[in-house]
Amino acid sequence: MKKIAVMTSGGDAPGMNAAIRAVVRTAIYNNVQVAGIRRGYQGMIEGDIFNMDTTSVSNIIQRGGTILKTARSKEFMTPEGRKKAFEQLKKHEVDGLVLIGGDGTFKGAHAFFGEHSLPAVGIPGTIDNDIAGTDYSLGFDTAVNTAVDAIDKIRDTAEAHDRMFIVEVMGRDAGYIALNSGIACGAEDILVPEKDTDFKSILKRISNDKRRKKLVNIIVVAEGDDFGGAEAVKAKILEHFPRIDVRATILGHIQRGGSPSYFDRVQASRMGYAAVNTLLKGTSQVMIGLENQQIICTPFENAIKEHAPLDMDMLEMAKILSS
């Protein structure tokens, strides 16, 4: 293999830069040239491809976002778009690919490699942590820490005013960020898409809390929850308790930015290193993952089959611990 191209695609995640750095430096160490593709599959279609060297990735391990930029490409969803992308890769003499992204990235990869033949390895990068075939996706640890920091601050003002807060966190249709930030902040309730919301029990808890004059509480809601997010939960609570002092806060894209945690930097380094070594050993069309702290490989088709399941025992535990 003479030239590997690396790209980031889908929502950015803290740790993507650390993974790019590891890919570039491992390839160069093995005397393989590296090209960067800007803006994911869209940049691939447009031939936005440039040569990288070890200095291209200096001073980026600690930076959020992605130096390669990212995009969600509609054109790549068509066979014509994918054909154009393949032609660009051939033109730039790319003979191996490292794709860093979430399930949309691997769905795209699966379609692409069903039509065109080129060795590729994926690295899971999404704050949602919902990809099957790995215990961990880059960015999740940093995003949860950001959410925890924000919710702790919200609790300060909630305490000061004796208020209830409904805090909405990201995760698309997965509840990992909600579950973990909710546990870490001692949230009184955690609403996730993986479980139907039992609103009756939330109302009962609020009644009990009012009776014992516990006025502050925090409900963490995943954006994909069946109830429709923080504002919908707030409206429903007000329907039953019109005089309650309640605010809704949507944390939003703050969760995607910021300097990656040590954990994300280390896992990104391991995964980037493993991705290049996997390609060089001749294994491809797999995603690098972590299982029990060890690096593993999962075929793209398995990584996109389903979402990683949420640990329902943890949700049960959270309920008991906050009672």
Which residues, numbered 183-222, are part of the site for ligand F6P (CB under 6 A)? none
101 touches ligand F6P (CB under 6 A): no
Contacting residue, 172, 205, 234, 265, with ligand F6P by CB under 6 A: 172
The catalytic position among 48, 53, 95, 128 is: 128
CA distance 143 to 126: 10
Distance, CA of 287 to CA of 78 (rounded, Å): 23
Choose one: 105-113, 164-172, 187-195, 234-242; the region binding ligand F6P (CB under 6 A). Answer: 164-172
Report if residue 256 touches ligand F6P, rule: CB under 6 A.
yes
What the block records as the tokens of 204 is 């009962």
Among 20, 127, 191, 286, binds ligand F6P (CB under 6 A): 127
The sign of the dihedral angle between the CA atoms of 255, 309, 22, 37 is negative
Residue of 81, 102, 124, 125 interacting with ligand F6P (CB under 6 A): 102
- Identify which of residues 103 and 188 has a Cβ nearer to ligand F6P in the complex: 103
Residue from 225, 249, 135 nearest 175 by CA? 225
**Between the CA of residue 95 and those of 38, 234, 271, 284, what are the distances in Å?**
17, 53, 20, 12
- 170 makes contact with ligand F6P (CB under 6 A): yes
73 touching ligand F6P, by CB under 6 A:
no
Which region, judged by CB under 6 A, interacts with ligand F6P, from 35-43, 51-59, 126-134, 199-207? 126-134
Residue 42 sits in the site that holds ligand F6P (CB under 6 A): no
Which of 15, 36, 122, 171 touches ligand F6P by CB under 6 A?
A: 171
Question: Minimum distance between the CB of residue 66 and ligand F6P, rounded to whole angstroms?
Answer: 13
Phi first, then psi: give them for residue 82, nearest 5 degrees. -65, -35
CA 146 to CA 87: how far, in whole Å?
41
Q: Which of 106, 100, 122 is nearest to 8 (CA)?
A: 100
Strand order in the sheet with 246-250: 189-191, 217-222, 164-169, 246-250
**CB nearer ligand F6P, residue 144 or residue 154:** 144
| Cα(114)–Cα(164) distance, integer angstroms | 51
Catalytic residue list contains 128 = yes
Residue 10 DSSP SS3: coil
Closer residue to ligand F6P in complex, CB, 153/253: 253
The catalytic residues are 128
Residues within the interface to ligand F6P (CB under 6 A):
11, 102, 126-128, 170-172, 223, 256
